A and B are shown apart, each in its own frame.
Chain A
Amino acid sequence: MSQSLSAMMYIRNNKHRIAVPVVSLCLCLVLTYLTGFLLSTTEISCASVYLESTQFMQFISLSDQSLGVKTTMDPSEIKKEISRRNEKTEEIAALLAQHDGIQTAYTANFLTAEISPAIGRADTFFPLLEKEELPSLLSYSGAALVEGRMPEKPGEIVIDRASMNNDGSELGGYYNYTNYLESYRIVGILDSDLYFGCGIPAEDQSDIKIIILISNIKDIAAELEKENIHPGTGDMIFDYNYGKEIMQNQIQNAISTSTSYMYGGVLIILLLLLMVIYTMYLRERHNEWCLYYSIGFSKMSIYLSAMRELLFTFGAAVLAGTAVIIVSVVLLKYFAIDPYGLKCRYFDMNSIQTILCSYSFLLGMLQIPVQYALSRIRTIDAMEDDLY
C-alpha cells in the first residue's frame, strides 16, 4: 500500500512557525529584487547617456596640442588663441563631415548636463547651436517639441521631460545643473527616448567650441586618425567606445562589487537565521519522526515530507515576495522614478538569477539539519529502552 506523509498537516497546524521562515525568505527576496531594481535606475539611465545617445551624437574637444595651436599664458592673447582653436576645430569638423557614416558635423558650444539616478551620476552635453541649426539637430535626434516653443534668443534651451524632471527644473524656469547659474531658461519640452536638450548659447557662454558629430560611428578616435590627428590624454572624445568604458569600469563594476557584498551579507545572515530556526523546529519533532518510523514510514518518506514542507515554505515566500515586489515596483515607479525622470528595468533577470541561486543554496544548506535529524531517528522501542 503506497502511503506518504502529508506535509500540509504540519503547515496547517503550525502557521505561526512556518510564518517565520516564510517572512525571512520573503524579505530577503524583496530586498534583493528591489535593490537590483533601484540600482537598475543607475544602470539604465547611465546606459541611455553613455551607450544610446553616443550612437547618434558624439562630442569631440581637442587639446591645443592636437589642434596644432600654441598655448599662451598671456591674458591678452587668450582671445586670439580661442579664435585660432575655433578655426582649427571648424576645419577638422569640415573634414570629418566628409567621412562615411557621419551625417553632419557642427562646431558648437555645449551645456554640461547631469543625470542623477539612485546612485552615482552621468554627465552629458546639450549642444548649443545657432537658432537656424536647431530644427535639423532635432530632426537628427528624433526629438519633437511637445510643449512650449523653440529657442529664439541666447540662453534659451529645450530639453526632454525626463532630463527636466531629473534636474528638478520646470518649463519657463532655469536649468539648474550648470555652472552658468541662471543663464539657461527652458522654453520648450521635447519628446525624446534619450536624455537630450539643445539651445542657443547664452551671452556669457565660453567662446570655446567643440565638434559635435551626428553619426553612428562607435570609434571616433579612428576617424580622427584618418585625418592624421592622434588623440591623447588631453583630448575628450565622448563616443560609444568611451561610454562603454565608463559603463563597464565605473558603473557596472561598482554596482556589481557593492551588490555582491550586500547580497553575500544578507545571505549569510539569512542562512544563520534559518539554520537556527529550522534546527530548533526539527529537534521538537524528534519524537514525531520516531513515531512515523516506528509505525512503518521509511526515512525517505519522512525526508520527502520534510522537503515538501520546505518547498512549500520557499514557494509561499516566493509568492508573497512577488506580490510585495509588484506593489513596491509600481509605487517606486510612480513616486520615486518617474518624477525624477529616471529609467529602470522592471524585469531584472540578474536579480532573479541571484534569488534563485540564493534559494537553491539555502535549500541545499538546510539539508544539513534535515539529514542530522533523520540520522537521529530511532524506533520507539529503542527510545523506551533508554527510559529503563
Chain B
Amino acid sequence: MFEVRNITMIYNMEQSDKVYALSGFDLTLPDKGLIGIIGPSGSGKSTLMYCLSTLKKPTDGSILYNGKELTDLNDHEREELRRNEFGFVFQRHFLVPYMSAVDNVIVAAADHSVPAKEKAKSLLESFGLKKSEYNKRPAQLSGGQRQRIAIARAMINDPEVLFADEPTAALDHENAFAVMSVMRSYAESRLVLVITHDRSILKQADRVIEMWDGTVSTERHGDSV
C-alpha cells in the first residue's frame, strides 16, 4: 500500500541548526494489518505518520500510496484522500466541545443520515460506551471515553488506512486492550498504523517498526513481535 523511498524531513530548513525529523530511509507497508510504530519522543514517528497521511510534505523522498505519488498531490487531492481513504486518531482527541458523543463521531461521516448515526452508535458501543453517554458532551465524559469517541470518529467512514497517534494514552489497561482489540479486528481487512510509547499494547501487532533519531532502527514481523 505504501512505498516510502529515502524519506527526509528537515525542520528549521532556513536556520543553521537544522533538525532531521526523518533522515532518509525506505519503508514498505502492506494493504492490511496492524502496524505499530514505536520509539522515544523526537524519534520521528509522528512526523512519519503525518507524512504518510499527507498532513506534512516531506522535504525530500517519495511516498507512493497505491501507486500514487503523494508528494505530487495538490491541496485538493490531499484533502480528498484524507477525507475518503484515511482515518485519524490524534494525540489530543480534538473533539468538538458543543457536540454530543454521537455527533462527534458522525461529524466526519460521509453523510449525516440515520444509518450513519446508527453506525456511530454501534462503534461507540463496541468501544464500551454506555447508551446513556451517547448524548453527553465531551466535558461530561472522562479522558478515556473521549479518546474512544475520537477513535470511533476515525473509523466512521471505514477508511483504507487508520492512523492512530497514541490512541490508548488516556485509557486504563483494560480499556486500552479493548480498543486495541477493535483495531486488531479492523486490521484484518485494512491497514492500521499505531504510534505508541506503550510496547504492551502492540502484542497483537503484525509488525512493529522501531524508530530512533529519525530513522527505522529495527522491524519485527509476526511472531517475533
| Contact among B81, B94, B108, B111 with A380 in the assembled complex (CB-CB below 8 Å) | B94
Q: Is the CB of A384 within 8 A of B83?
A: no
Q: Which residues of A contact B83 (CB under 8 A)?
A: 1, 3, 295-297
Determine chain B's interface SS by DSSP, over half rule: loop
A1 to B109, CA, bound (A): 11
Q: Is the CB of B55 within 8 A of A380?
A: yes
Q: Find the residue from B46, B80, B88 having the highest chain A CB count within 10 A.
A: B88
| Contact among A5, A13, A296 with B99 in the assembled complex (CB-CB below 8 Å) | A13
Closest A-chain residue to B91, C-beta based?
A: A384
Q: Which residues of B contact A293 (CB under 8 A)?
A: 79
Quick one: CB contact mask for B85-99 with A, threshold 8 Å, 1 for yes? 010101110101111
What is the CB-to-nearest-CB distance from A2 to chain B, in angstroms, rounded to a whole number?
8
Q: Which residues of A contact B18 (CB under 8 A)?
A: none
B112 within 8 A of A: yes
A216 within 8 A of B: no
Q: Is the CB of A297 within 8 A of B90?
A: no
Closest B-chain residue to A285, C-beta based?
A: B96
Quick one: CB contact mask for B60-92 with A, threshold 8 Å, 1 for yes? 000000000000000110011111101010111
Interface size on B, residues (CB 8 A): 31
B160 within 8 A of A: no
Q: Is the CB of A297 within 8 A of B79?
A: yes
Q: Is the CB of B96 within 8 A of A296?
A: no
Determine chain A's interface SS by DSSP, over half rule: helix
A296 to B98, CA, bound (A): 21
Q: Is the CB of A287 within 8 A of B94?
A: yes
Q: Is the CB of A291 within 8 A of B46?
A: no
| Also in contact, A296 and B86, with CB within 8 A (given A3-B111, A291-B94, A291-B96) | yes
Q: Find the residue from B103, B107, B110 having the highest chain A CB count within 10 A.
A: B107
| Contact among B76, B81, B96, B99 with A298 in the assembled complex (CB-CB below 8 Å) | B76
B56 within 8 A of A: yes
Q: Is the CB of A296 within 8 A of B84?
A: yes
Q: Is the CB of A9 within 8 A of B50?
A: no
A294 within 8 A of B: yes
Q: Report the interface size class on chain A.
A: 20 to 34
A101 to B163, CA, bound (A): 92
Q: Is the CB of A10 within 8 A of B98?
A: yes
A297 to B86, CA, bound (A): 12
What is the CB-to-nearest-CB distance from A18 to chain B, in angstroms, rounded to a whole number?
11
A288 to B92, CA, bound (A): 12
A276-301 interface with B by 8 A CB criterion: 287-288, 290-298
Q: Which residues of A contact B55 (CB under 8 A)?
A: 294, 379-381
Give me 27 A-to-B residue pairs in the complex whose CB atoms sit less than 8 angstroms apart, sorted by A's number.
A1-B110, A3-B83, A3-B110, A3-B111, A6-B107, A6-B112, A9-B103, A13-B98, A13-B99, A13-B100, A13-B103, A14-B98, A287-B94, A290-B94, A292-B107, A294-B88, A294-B90, A294-B94, A295-B82, A295-B83, A295-B108, A296-B79, A296-B82, A296-B83, A296-B84, A379-B50, A388-B41
Query: What 15 additional pairs, Cβ within 8 angstroms, besides A296-B79, A296-B81?
Result: A1-B83, A3-B110, A9-B99, A10-B98, A14-B98, A287-B94, A292-B107, A294-B55, A294-B90, A295-B83, A296-B86, A379-B56, A381-B50, A381-B56, A388-B41
What is B's interface to A at a CB cutoff of 8 Å? 41-42, 46, 50, 55-56, 75-76, 79-84, 86, 88, 90-92, 94, 96-100, 103, 107-108, 110-112
